[in-house]
Structure 1
Amino acid sequence: MINTIIWNIRGIGSRGAFDRLKKITHIHKATFVALQEPFVHNAVINKNKIQKYKRKLGFTNAVTNKNGKIWCLWDDDFKCKVISDHNQQLTLEIQHSSHNEGFVVTIVYAKTSSRKRKRLWENLRTLNSHINKPWSIMGDFNNIIEAEEKQGGRQHRLSRSLEFVGCMDDCNMMDAGYSGDKFTWTNARRLRGRILMRLDRVMYNDHWSQKFPIVNTRHLPRTGSDHRVLLMKCDSKEPPRTKYFKFLNFWTEQDDFMDMVKNSWHSDVRGNPMWILQQKLKRLSNCLSHWSKNSICNVFEKVKELEEQVEKAEARYTTYNTDLNRSLLHSKYVEQIYWVNKETSMLRQKARIKWQEEGDSNTRYFHSVIRQKRKKAQLYRNKNEQDQWIQGDDKIADAATRHFSKLFS
């Protein structure tokens, strides 16, 4: 688990801002903290100041970018190396003690001028040509992607987002999403003069998605700043998935399929028609699951097993050129093709994509889409009946049970 805090703090020297940072770092057990605009203008002074705040926050390592406007602090779980130092970004190659493969993090603090931001986009594109690892770009981009990410003020023109969107697209980045309030920045004015925008965000590439199946980003309150705190939690462990019954199309090709279905369906069930239908479907799904497990076995394991058997049969026929070995090899070929067709049928059905039309050219893209769908299906927080946020699988399950029990009773 990697817990990261990203905050455009606008002045760490104020007592309130520092106390809030210290508190959220402790509450969320942050292992990596990135700060923008600590409001110490002199870069040399800034590099000295960071050592002081590093000790106060309980971290053992720290680094700043060349103009001192981006700070990164981390604990002993990480080994970090600066691979790019720019006025608007700081890029670190990070090695975590629990992971063999390293990953790259870029902390962004973009200029307010679109002309000056062009240098940032060019710099990120250059980085992309050299990075072939899990990579995440996070921080204050001072830009939005779509008009819905702004409220108040003049209407946003999409032409102002094209360079930002184009850069992220060239770097193969996708938005990590978020929970909490949509807007991360406010101009703090009242009534009609107030403007809200989503200037801060977390982006990552597909390699990052593979390395960290769980990526959860929250927008915390903006107490002490005009920017919200971003909390990103990444976990390399796959979340446990509930296995639901799924009907496999190739079952219908089995010789004993119809007999098994008839025997299950004709069993006696008493009650009203809807109850009878529900109970028969439930019994049939259980029978199909047991039948598939006992009669058909694991298709993927069978394909691997036959691959080894065919390899041995080919070697035997090469060494001993006899009619018997030739016949055995051909029978293994037939059996392998039979099970590979079953596997192909399952994969087509699972992906719900017309593989025969698309071919293998977009396999990487398809897997990326599947991973993103799984991420969107994960539920980390939910509001209960008292409109309070709750976390944890058990608490969310209890709240859902109470809600639907009350709804249907």
Structure 2
Amino acid sequence: MMNTLIWNCRGAMKPLFRKTVLDLVEWHAPMLMVITETRLSGARVEEMIESLPFDGSMVADSIGFAGGIWLLWRTNMMHVEVLASTEQEIHAIIRVRSQSLSWIISAIYASPRFAERCMLWDNLKLIATLHDLPWALLGDFNEVISEEEKAGGNPICQRRVRAIMDCMSECHMMDLGFSGPKFTWTNKREVRVLYNAD
């Protein structure tokens, strides 16, 4: 099984960013790593990536201080053919060099703005119609589909739920769940820490 690691870092310029990436690589030995919400672009991205233990990369730059996706891999272990990218997504065909199986990875960091997320949902539907390979979609979709996925605040918007559920249905997506804290963002409000028992 190929070891893939995804990390929502919320800022690549944090003082411990590089050390944290190196620690994660040492502990998990990933062939492929996706880092989202890097909040970094331009020459600073190239400088940071060159200091990491991956020699293949594709970057979707952040817009100002929002977003950013890095797809990093080890070229001696896998071949990566990037199909397309926008500021919200990177799509690539992956072939592990020791295996004959190819598959698609979609690294996602969806916009906080609904209209832009709708463009992402349309792009995902297009990818689904163009390819018939196994497909892993991972990242931050910036959307909730049930009240249980949030604590407090306004009720969820059913129009937004219908948009992502339509995309999930057309793309034959299946949520594989998670482990760790149920809520990962608090808007600086105090929240009880809940864990998924799976």
- Matched residue count: 193
Distance 1:4 1:184, change over 3 A: farther
Deviation at 1:25, TM superposition (A): 2.1
User: Does structure 1 retain, via aligned residues, the 8 Å contact 2:182–2:193?
Assistant: no
From 50, 56, 63, the equivalent of 1:61 is 56
1:16-27 correspondence runs (5 A): 16-27=16-27
- Per the alignment, residue 3 of structure 1 pairs with 3
Structure 2, unaligned stretches of length 5 or more? none
Deviation at 1:179, TM superposition (A): 2.2
Deviation at 1:157, TM superposition (A): 3.7
- Per the alignment, residue 171 of structure 1 pairs with 171
Deviation at 1:10, TM superposition (A): 2.0
In structure 1, how many angstroms separate the alpha carbons of the residues matched to 2:193 and 2:122? 27
In structure 1, how many angstroms separate the alpha carbons of the residues matched to 2:180 and 2:61? 33
- Per the alignment, residue 98 of structure 2 pairs with 98
1:190-339 correspondence runs (5 A): 190=190
In structure 2, how many angstroms separate the alpha carbons of the residues matched to 1:54 and 1:157? 38
Structure 1, unaligned stretches of length 5 or more? 198-217, 220-380, 383-409
Which secondary structure does the structure 2 equivalent of 1:57 belong to? coil
User: Does structure 2 retain, via aligned residues, the 8 Å contact 1:36–1:70?
Assistant: yes
Deviation at 1:174, TM superposition (A): 0.4
- Per the alignment, residue 187 of structure 1 pairs with 187
- Greater RCO, 1 or 2 (C-alpha within 8 Å, sep 6+): 2
- Per the alignment, residue 151 of structure 1 pairs with 151
User: Does structure 2 retain, via aligned residues, the 8 Å contact 1:108–1:140?
Assistant: yes
The letter for the 2-side match of 1:32 is L
Deviations 1:78-134 (A, max 9, x none): 111110111211101111012212110001111111112111111111111101001
In structure 2, how many angstroms separate the alpha carbons of the residues matched to 1:168 and 1:196? 28
Distance 1:126 1:196, change over 3 A: farther
The letter for the 1-side match of 2:47 is K
- Per the alignment, residue 74 of structure 1 pairs with 73
Which secondary structure does the structure 2 equivalent of 1:185 belong to? coil
- Per the alignment, residue 107 of structure 1 pairs with 107
Deviation at 1:195, TM superposition (A): 9.7
Calculate the TM-score normalised by the size of structure 2.
0.86
In structure 2, how many angstroms separate the alpha carbons of the residues matched to 1:65 and 1:92? 13
- Per the alignment, residue 49 of structure 1 pairs with 44
% of aligned pairs identical? 29
Which secondary structure does the structure 1 equivalent of 2:137 belong to? strand
User: Does structure 2 retain, via aligned residues, the 8 Å contact 1:121–1:167?
Assistant: yes
Calculate the TM-score normalised by the size of structure 1.
0.44
The letter for the 2-side match of 1:105 is I
Decide which structure has the larger Cα Rg and report it. Answer: 1
In structure 2, how many angstroms separate the alpha carbons of the residues matched to 1:195 and 1:143? 20
**4+ runs deviating over 4 angstroms:** 194-197
Deviations 1:151-181 (A, max 9, x none): 1222324443111111011001101122222
> Going by fraction, where is helix more abundant, 1 or 2?
1
- Per the alignment, residue 33 of structure 2 pairs with 33
Deviations 1:352-375 (A, max 9, x none): xxxxxxxxxxxxxxxxxxxxxxxx
Which secondary structure does the structure 1 equivalent of 2:51 belong to? helix
The letter for the 2-side match of 1:189 is R
The letter for the 2-side match of 1:71 is W
In structure 1, how many angstroms separate the alpha carbons of the residues matched to 2:165 and 2:184? 18
Deviation at 1:9, TM superposition (A): 1.4
- Per the alignment, residue 14 of structure 1 pairs with 14
User: Does structure 1 retain, via aligned residues, the 8 Å contact 2:81–2:94?
Assistant: yes
- Per the alignment, residue 141 of structure 2 pairs with 141
Distance 1:189 1:107, change over 3 A: same
Deviations 1:181-202 (A, max 9, x none): 2223332323xxx5999xxxxx
Which secondary structure does the structure 1 equivalent of 2:11 belong to? coil
Deviations 1:207-254 (A, max 9, x none): xxxxxxxxxxx99xxxxxxxxxxxxxxxxxxxxxxxxxxxxxxxxxxx
